Amino acid sequence: MDHDADQPWWLQGAPDDDATGADSSIYDSAPIPPPPPPPMRPTDDSAWLRDAPGDSFAPAGPPHPPPGVTVSNGWSQSFPRTPAPPPPPPAARPSAASRRPAPSSSANPPAPVQRHSNAGVRILLVIFLALLATTIGVTLKRYDPSLTPSGLTLPGLGSPPTPTGYAQSALITFTRTTKTVAAPSSTIVAATDGSGQVKATQQTASVTGAATGAIQATYQIASNVIFPLTVINNSPNPILSGGSLIVTSNDGKVTCGLEGSVTVPAHGNAQQKCDEPIKTEPAASWDYTDPSTGLNYTGDSPAGGNAAYYYVPSNCGDPSAAESAVRTALQGQLALPAGSALLFGPTYTFDTHSLACTPAAGTQQGNSFTYVQKINATASQTIYAQADVQAYQLAQVKAKIPAGYELVSSQICPNGPLVGNGATATRATITCPATALAGWTWTPAALTALATAITTADPGTAKIQLNQTPGIVAGSVTIALTNGSELPQNPGVITFKVTP
């Protein structure tokens, strides 16, 4: 029977090892006399050790009174304390072989080994456990996860369910102080001679013998000569000159036909038109007498008349086609470089004396045909780089930023640079307003100093301090902690988000 079964778990001894032949503790010396009965517990308040029914330190069963004292009322009786006799001195420790139990028979079982019970050791153990619990509690209360390497937990503790103490990290957001500045002037001058704030550049181009596309030759409709003849009547009676008579010129080369009918009075005359054929005819004289009527037809006709034809006009015709062609060729040479804008032009100069055509002017053909014009011309224009205008205005804005501030954002030429009226080939005014937003300069060193000043502070105190710091808009500070209720001890884990 093991008497340790009656003791708490932390006071029980190791299992009896005598049966295995292993080395036993000093309390396993055999034989061990049974301990004397424990002294009765006094009932007065001066006792420093009390055993009550159910106390884990009380032996099982009723208390034993000192010898010669009769107990009549159980635990209600008080007895004078009798000191316990001292334990006998321990016998010499036998060897392991001598301590092995001898083989026993069923008739004589070995006596159970009894162990000492020391109340002082128990009390010291209780005090030690209380101190250990207090130490663990203080450790948990001031546990700072930021000082524990990532992924490491304290043995037996793990991660605290509700973190307290210094935070692992902190994110602080605030709005910095800003000011709006503007360029002194919204207009600047661009000039080709360098006298303006921005340099302008003049471009020139020239084309020699720029040819047009095919031009349709001019069409001339057909025509004939129509002239009047004088009809003379030498008879005493009026005579009708009919419209069907064909009259021949004196040289017999030209004929014409009379138009309509005319009554010629007796001994008188009348005018009647005569139409030559639709072709070119020479000049002719007319003095013809109709044998059937005796009427005489006299007169002169000019040269003229023509059949339909196509021709090239004199001076090669209208030069607009040639000018349009040469303008297109010049524009190809005056293409704007990337990032450039037009300040003035382009202007074109055409050399009209160089206008020529193929076939030559005056060429006629009976059938339709085309011809080509050629001309010489020059062109020029003035340009500037938009980036130069924007850079100049940005520099003007930056010059207005006060000390301690830095450029946050800018708005340069929001509607684009606009060239003013009155521009010339060498000089022009450009409108380009410019403004900028400047913010308080928070360098990395300044933010580190700010973090150092608020380490280990509670968020409320830190916010008050930050909101009163120059360069921070009051009331804009927010603080977010990770795993803790106070700012970290290490300023390196405090980060800032500055807006704008």
Please give the average per-residue pLDDT across 44-54, as a whole number. Answer: 43
Say if residue 258 is in the same domain as residue 366. no
pLDDT digits (tens, 9 = 90+) for 52-107: 444 444 444 444 455 544 444 444 344 444 455 555 555 555 454 444 544 444 44
**CATH number assigned to the domain comprising residue 266:** 2.40.30
Cα 63 to Cα 367: distance, rounded to the nearest angstrom? 154
Mean pLDDT score of the chain, rounded to an integer? 80
Residues 214 and 317 in one domain: yes
407, part of any domain: no
- Count the Cβ atoms, other than its own, within 10 Å of residue 14: 11
Residue 464 vs residues 255, 392, 454, 460, 478: alpha-carbon distances, Å: 123, 42, 11, 6, 11
352 in any annotated domain: yes
**Assigned domain for 295 exists:** yes
Report how far apart, in Å, the C-alpha atoms of 81 and of each of 47, 123, 142 are: 10, 21, 48
Total structural domains within the chain? 2
Residue-wise pLDDT tens digits, 253-283: 999 999 999 999 999 999 999 999 999 999 9
The answer to whether residue 168 sits within a structural domain is: no
| pLDDT over 90 percentage in the chain | 66
Domain membership of residue 240 (yes or no) is yes
User: Considering the domain boundaries, does residue 167 fall inside one?
Assistant: no
CA 88-90-95 angle, 5° bins: 150
* Residue 176 DSSP class: B
Centre a 10 Å sphere on the Cβ of residue 11 and count the other Cβ atoms it contains.
15
267, 291, 307 - which closes a domain: 307
Task: Give the confidence band of 428 by pLDDT, cuts at 50, 70, 90.
Answer: very high
**Pair (255, 378) in one structural domain:** no
Whether the predicted pLDDT of 19 surpasses 50: no
The radius of gyration of the chain's CA atoms, rounded to the nearest angstrom, is 67
Q: Rounded to 5 degrees, what angle do the CA atoms 487, 493, 498 make? A: 90
The residue from 338, 356, 386 where one domain ends is: 386
Among 354, 386, 418, where does a domain finish? 386
Same domain, 244 and 379: no
CA dihedral (91, 97, 100, 103) positive or negative: negative
Q: Report how far apart the first and last C-alpha atoms of the chain are (Å, whole number).
A: 82
Q: 270 is in which domain, residue-wise? A: 222-307
| Residue 453 CB partners (closer than 8 Å, separation 6+) | 465
The pair of structure tokens assigned to 116 is 């000492």
In a domain, 452, yes or no: no
**Alpha-carbon gap, residue 178 to 94, rounded angstroms:** 92
Mean pLDDT of 365-383: 96
Among 439, 457, 440, 441, smallest CA distance to 494 is for 457
